[in-house]
Structure formats: C-alpha cells, structure tokens
Amino acid sequence: MGAGIIGVGRYVPEKVLTNFDLEKMMDTSDEWIRTRTGIEERRIAPDDIDTSHMAYFAAERALQDAGMEAKDIDLILVATVTPDRPFPSVACMLQERLGAVNAAALDISAACAGFMYGMVTAAQFIDTGAYKYILVVGADKLSKITDWTDRNTAVLFGDGAGAVVMGPVSPGRGILSFELGADGTGGKHLYKDEYIVMNGREVFKFAVRQMGESSVRVLEKAGLTKDDVDFLIPHQANIRIVEAARQRLELPEEKISTTIRRYGNTSAASIPISLVEELEAGKIHDDDLIIMVGFGGGLTWGAIALRWGR
C-alpha cells in the first residue's frame, strides 16, 4: 500500500478584497491586474485570525473528511512562511488546538512549494512504516508581509489554508512519483525583508520553465505520458504561468485548476485549496491521475504524480 490522501479540508477568510478595492488604495486598475495576473479578488484574514487559526480550521475539516480524530495523527507538518511567531511552530500550536496528543509536529519552510515538500516528506514516513497517519497543512497569511503601497506585489497575494490527511491507500493509488528541487542562487529574486520583495521577470521565467519540466519528469518517473493525465493542479501564482503549464502537458482548459481568479496567490495553501475546490466541483474522481506542481521562494519547486482515491 502506498501513501495517499484520505481526507481534505480548506479555509479561506470571509473578507473579499477585489481589484476595484485595490484601485482605491494604489495606482492600479482592475484591467491591469486581470490581464497580467488573472486575479479578480483575494481573501484577507482579520487581525485576530493568524496562520495557526487558518491551519486549524482547514485541519479540522480534513480530519472530518477522513473520518478520523486528532489523536489518530502521528505527525503534523505545516508548510508556511508566515508563522504566528518564530517559535513555537505553527505545527505545535495546531497540535495543541486539535488535541493531537500523539503527534510530533514541525513546520516546513519552502515558500509556495512548501505543500509539495510536506506531502513528499509525509510519504516517506508512511512508506517506511514509521508513521501511519500524517496531517499536512499549507497555510499562509501573506497579507501581513505584503507592502500595500507596491502595486507590483500587493495585487498578487491572499490568505488561506488547505490541509490533507495522508495515510496508506489501496494498491495502485496514492503518490506514484515525485520531484523536489531547489536553486539557492535564485533566492535573491524572491524573499522577505520587511515585506515580500520580488523580481517578477526572473521569477516568471523560472516558473514557466520549472513547472512544465517538473510535471513532465514526474510523469516519466511513473512510466506515464501526457495522455494519461486527468487533471493538473498547479500553484496559483499567475494565470500566464498556469496556462504555460497546461500547454506543456497539452491539456484542455477543463482539466486544469484556476482558482487564482478568486483567491490570488496564497503561497503554500494554493495547491490544497485548489484540490478541495475541484473535488467539490466534481472534477476529480477515483483513479484519476493528478499532477500537482509548485514553485516558490528559495528558489524551490516540487511536483507529484498521484493516483486519486483511498
């Protein structure tokens, strides 16, 4: 039995910040944002909701979906670059809130690729038999590290969380192959000083190349081809990057997730949020081949080929 997903959950804040709202805050326009990013609106968490709270809301739903209790979890992995504080980790705060008394807990810092890193890490523990059930969460409150006077970055980001419970699944299902990677020489192009700093041109070039190449490589590792892909869930950073990944796999538009329009770039949360949205929309079915692929600051990247189902 391989390692796969047995429960999912997501959380997005109630407050919607539209492009028209941003027009009143800075020198930008709805047309400028939509044509360059594909984003129409994003969610913003209030001051009393931090990353750990969003992680908790998503995790509770994932546990309910899996039909499990918190005490059944052996390990909690939280991918985030916006922890409530340097320590304790968001994972430890989540462990306490959930009452996951039997779980070890740690955070993973790989920016927008963090959820891919988390899932792959969890799979190793499950495959070796060290742990049986692992909670993997991607959660970020990017609004607190965004410079709301910089139209080049402020229009991109939103807040949210997504979570999965991973464990043993039926033979032939679960993670079939993966790729993780990093290029520290590109760290200068995307980092946090007081706020997020990004060289958009360089990050765009990296993302377009890496998302497509990684997706193709995980297919090759699994002994599969583009024709086998049923659905693509890419990191939601920019609609042009998402579209480039779709074209690389030669997929029709109905086989790719584009939640960026409603949520913007939610960093480590974007892939699990998209997964839940597409499941709820009935676009993913048992035994479908799913490609999940992301990139982020570091620079980092990760991709997974997964056969859906428990």
**Residues acting as catalytic residues:** 112, 235, 265
Give every CB contact of residue 171 below 8 A, 6+ residues apart in sequence. Answer: 1, 2
The answer to whether the beta carbons of residues 59 and 95 sit under 8 Å apart is no
User: Is 193 strand, coil or helix?
Assistant: coil
Phi, psi for residue 297 in degrees, rounded to 5: -60, 145
End-to-end CA distance of the chain: 10
Question: What CA–CA distance (Å, rounded) separates 293 from 123?
Answer: 16
DSSP string over 6-59 = EEEEEE--S-EEEHHHHHTTSS--HHHHHHHH---EEE---TT--HHHHHHHHH
* Best CA proximity match to 287, nearest among 301, 270, 269, 308: 308
Contact 235, 112 (CB under 8 A): yes
Report whether 148 contacts 26 (CB < 8 A): yes
Tell me the C-alpha distance between 307 and 210, whole Å: 22
Nearest residue to 159 (alpha-carbon basis) of 263, 26, 7: 263
